Structures are given as structure tokens and as C-alpha cells.
């Protein structure tokens, strides 16, 4: 595994000059092979974007623009789009909007905060814009959602719809 390889390399480095260069070369080659194979098998992400995507899902208000996402992930817009499509099934902005609305659904169900406060906490500039976005995606207004306490929101944590059971 990659970890075992890193530990072996660390042990060689600790030994200092008592290590044959050939042994270190073999381990480094094995390490690079494992990394390359892992990147291919996992679509180039090796789980390194998993935590960042989870942070976006939990705190979407911290990512108000595509540029802020590019900076957080340290990739271009095109690469960012590929990462999100591969891992969430959504483009970056749709994922942020979905996450904001999903978080606001939780707040509507589990708090007594005013709708305008929920809008601001989820990164919306106005309650009116939030209400329009909410109704467009969820199908009912935030106040109706709160009143009925119904789980309208479809899909898993990334918004991917699950196949219907026959």
C-alpha cells in the first residue's frame, strides 16, 4: 500500500548514508507506481477532493462564486467541473445551490429562525431571491415547507436521485 511504502522510505531516510541508492530508487519507483495506479483507478482524485466537497456541502455559503471554488480546490474551472460531475453528478454551482437549499431545509425543519435569517445564513443576499430559488428547486415556498414539515427534498446528500424500485 501507499502508506507502507511511505513508512519504508521514511525508515531508509532515517538510516541516513547506510542506505543503498538502489534500494531507495526501487521504493520510490514503487511509490510513484502506486500513486499513478490509484489516480487512474479513482478517477484522478484518490479521495483528496472528498473532504473539500464535503466542506462545500456542509458550508456552501463559504463559496459564493465559481472563483472561490477554484481557489479552494486550486484547480481551473474546467477541472473543477470534472471533479464535481464525477463525484456529485452536478456542476459546481448547481451543487452549491443544492447544498444551500438542503441546509436551509434542515434549518426550516429544526429551528424557529426567520426565513430571512435562514436566507442570509445560507449565503443568499435577500429573502426574496432565496424564496424564488427554494420554490424553483423544492417545489414549495420555504414557509409552506416549514408549515407542512414534509421532506420534499429529493436524492442523496449530493442530490443524485435514487432509481425507483419496481
Average pLDDT over residues 118-132: 94
Question: Which of these ranges, 11-20, 22-31, 81-90, 120-129, has the smallest mean pLDDT?
Answer: 11-20
pLDDT in tens, 137-153: 889 999 999 988 755 55
Average pLDDT over residues 48-56: 86
Render the chain in DSSP notation, one character per residue: -HHHHHHHHHHHHHHGGGS-HHHHHHHHHHHHHHHHHHHHHTTT-TTTTHHHHHHHHH-GGG--SHHHHHHHHTS-HHHHHHHHHHHHSS-HHHHHHHHHHHHHHHHHHH----HHHHHHHTT-S-HHHHHHHHHHHHSS-HHHHHHHT-----SSTT-PPPPPP-
Q: What is the pTM of this model?
A: 0.62
Amino acid at each position: 500500500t501507499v502508506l507502507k511504502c511511505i513508512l519504508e522510505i521514511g525508515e531508509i531516510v532515517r538510516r541516513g548514508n547506510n542506505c543503498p541508492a538502489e534500494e531507495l530508487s526501487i521504493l520510490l519507483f514503487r511509490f510513484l507506481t502506486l500513486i499513478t495506479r490509484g489516480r487512474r483507478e479513482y478517477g484522478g482524485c484518490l479521495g483528496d477532493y472528498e473532504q473539500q466537497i464535503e466542506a462545500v456541502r456542509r458550508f456552501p455559503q463559504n463559496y459564493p462564486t465559481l472563483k472561490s471554488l477554484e481557489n479552494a480546490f486550486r484547480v481551473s474551472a474546467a477541472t473543477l467541473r470534472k471533479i464535481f460531475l464525477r463525484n456529485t453528478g452536478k456542476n459546481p454551482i448547481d451543487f452549491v445551490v443544492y447544498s444551500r437549499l438542503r441546509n436551509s431545509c434542515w434549518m426550516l425543519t429544526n429551528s424557529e429562525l426567520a426565513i430571512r435569517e435562514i436566507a442570509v445564513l445560507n449565503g443568499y443576499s435577500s429573502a426574496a431571491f432565496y424564496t424564488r430559488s427554494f420554490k424553483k428547486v423544492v417545489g414549495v415556498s420555504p414557509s409552506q415547507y416549514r408549515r407542512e414539515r414534509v421532506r420534499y427534498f429529493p436524492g442523496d446528500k449530493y442530490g443524485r436521485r435514487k432509481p425507483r424500485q419496481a
